[in-house]
């Protein structure tokens, strides 16, 4: 039960920060905010403070910042639709930007808990290591694997483990010079009874990076970029069919995953608090960055869809009819809600199974 509460709290913080980005940008731009809501569906609590109603709603699957003149015409001088294109772009993009910043902050907190970080510089090889025999050397800093730039050890491990033949083209920094290495080989283990595919054996270790203010900031920035790129790769895999729609997770699946992280670090002998918080902040960062990127997709009802309309308006110097734009976003929202219901249903089935 505690793990579920923590999971809902983490997800709630991510949603609140997103909507607060829209809220504060709107207020600073002189836009009237009619309602600031956390959650969707029927109201549980609400309080009017000044011109804005603050509400908590039943379903913890999102939230909204309702602005005057957002989806319809308005004669109010403080209406969203009467502000300049630049101000409206800032307001619409602010939510996603806040999620990206929050993700970075989560990673900074996570990295502040570690004494050292894994680098991408080779420090040691096993005896008769295949990768050493095919060209890698101690001291090589790997910066590219099979055309993918390597920001962190996570990128390095991802590229190695996602390969099928165990042969790679790498770019390394060796003695201050960039070198391109072809056909770096690794030993592939034979599949066992429980697995249908073989796995790659990593036959080296990497140098540690000592914790300092500079390394915390540097590693956090690199990991943020790494997470963002991983999300884009996953979206591409979804579009190309490598992932199925059943692999998607909604709020229920996210809460379940977060609570799983909490449960995994809780044993009969107690709680491994350090690993718990590190894993929790890592997952929270990934989710927050994911929410930020997903909302920037150019789809109706999402912030990215609204940005497309604003960019078109900026180019043609003439706004699209708010009513027509509202209809497009309404249809997009309806389709999005249908997708959310489907994904949520699948999440519940996975929980039951």
Reported as a single tens digit per residue, the pLDDT across 188-232 is 876 665 555 678 889 999 999 999 999 999 999 999 999 999 888
Residue 35 has a pLDDT of: 95
Residue 262 has a pLDDT of: 66
pLDDT average, residue stretch 40-66: 89
According to the CATH classification, is domain 116-210 in 2.130.10.10? no
Position of tokens 């970075």?
104
Chain centroid offset of residue 244 CA: 19
Residue 277 has a pLDDT of: 85
Determine whether 182 is exposed, middle or buried from the number of CB atoms within 10 Å of its CB (0-12, 13-18, 19+). Answer: exposed
pLDDT average, residue stretch 279-300: 91
- Is 62:252 a contact under the CB 8 Å cutoff? no
Backbone φ and ψ of 208, nearest 5°: -80, 150
Distances (CA, A) of 59 to 36, 205, 290: 15, 47, 20
- At 206 the three-state DSSP class reads strand
Residue 136 has a pLDDT of: 96
- pLDDT confidence band for 240 (50 / 70 / 90): confident
Least trusted range by pLDDT, from 56-60, 245-249, 259-263, 267-271 = 267-271
- pLDDT confidence band for 266 (50 / 70 / 90): low
pLDDT average, residue stretch 271-279: 80
Pull the structure tokens for residue 182: 């072809």
Nearest CA-CA partner of 350 in 211, 255, 263, 230? 255
Residue 180 has a pLDDT of: 96
Residue 195 or residue 91, greater confidence: 91
pLDDT average, residue stretch 314-321: 85
Residue 4 pLDDT exceeds 80: no
Nearest CA-CA partner of 295 in 76, 95, 160? 95
- Neighbouring CB atoms inside 10 A of 10's CB total 22
Q: Where are the domains of the chain?
A: 2-111+282-352, 116-210
Residue 267 has a pLDDT of: 56
Residue 261 has a pLDDT of: 67
Residue 192 has a pLDDT of: 60
Residue 47 pLDDT exceeds 70: yes
Q: How far apart are CA 243 and CA 122, in angstroms?
A: 33
Residue 264 or residue 126, greater confidence: 126
pLDDT average, residue stretch 132-153: 95
Q: How far apart are CA 168 and CA 147, in angstroms?
A: 10
Residue 258 has a pLDDT of: 72
Position of tokens 């962190």?
152
pLDDT average, residue stretch 321-348: 79
Residue 84 has a pLDDT of: 93
Query: Active-site positions?
Result: 19
Residue 104 pLDDT exceeds 90: yes
| Arithmetic mean of pLDDT over the chain | 87
């Amino acid at each position: 039960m505690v793990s579920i509460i923590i999971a809902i709290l983490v997800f709630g913080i991510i949603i609140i920060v997103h909507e607060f980005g829209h809220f504060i940008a709107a207020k600073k731009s002189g836009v009237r905010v009619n309602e600031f809501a956390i959650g969707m569906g029927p109201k549980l609590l609400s309080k009017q403070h000044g011109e804005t109603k603050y509400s908590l709603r039943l379903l913890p699957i999102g939230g909204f910042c309702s602005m005057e003149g957002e989806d319809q015409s308005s004669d109010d001088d403080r209406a969203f639709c009467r502000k300049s294109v630049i101000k409206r772009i800032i307001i619409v993009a602010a939510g996603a930007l806040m999620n990206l910043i929050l993700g970075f902050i989560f990673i900074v907190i996570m990295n502040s808990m570690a004494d050292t970080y894994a680098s991408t510089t080779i420090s040691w090889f096993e005896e008769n290591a295949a990768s050493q025999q095919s060209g890698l050397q101690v001291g090589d800093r790997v910066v590219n694997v099979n055309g993918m730039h390597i920001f962190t050890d996570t990128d390095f491990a991802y590229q190695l483990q996602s390969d099928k033949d165990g042969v790679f083209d790498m770019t390394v920094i060796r003695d201050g010079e960039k070198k391109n290495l072809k056909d770096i080989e690794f030993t592939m283990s034979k599949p066992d009874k429980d697995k249908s595919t073989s796995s790659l054996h990593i036959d080296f270790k990497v140098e540690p990076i000592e914790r300092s203010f500079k390394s915390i900031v540097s590693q956090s920035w690199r990991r943020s970029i790494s997470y963002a790129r991983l999300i884009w790769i996953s979206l591409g895999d979804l579009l190309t069919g490598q992932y199925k729609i059943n692999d998607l997770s909604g709020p229920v699946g996210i809460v379940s995953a977060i609570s799983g992280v909490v449960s995994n670090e809780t044993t009969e002998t107690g709680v491994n608090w350090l690993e718990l918080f590190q894993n929790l902040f890592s997952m929270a960062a990934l989710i927050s960055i994911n929410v930020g990127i997903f909302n920037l997709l150019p789809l109706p009802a999402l912030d990215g869809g609204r940005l497309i309309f604003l960019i078109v308006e900026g180019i043609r110097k003439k706004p699209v009819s708010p009513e027509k734009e509202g209809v497009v976003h309404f249809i997009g929202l309806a389709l999005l809600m249908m997708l959310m219901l489907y994904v949520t249903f699948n999440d519940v089935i996975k929980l039951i199974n």
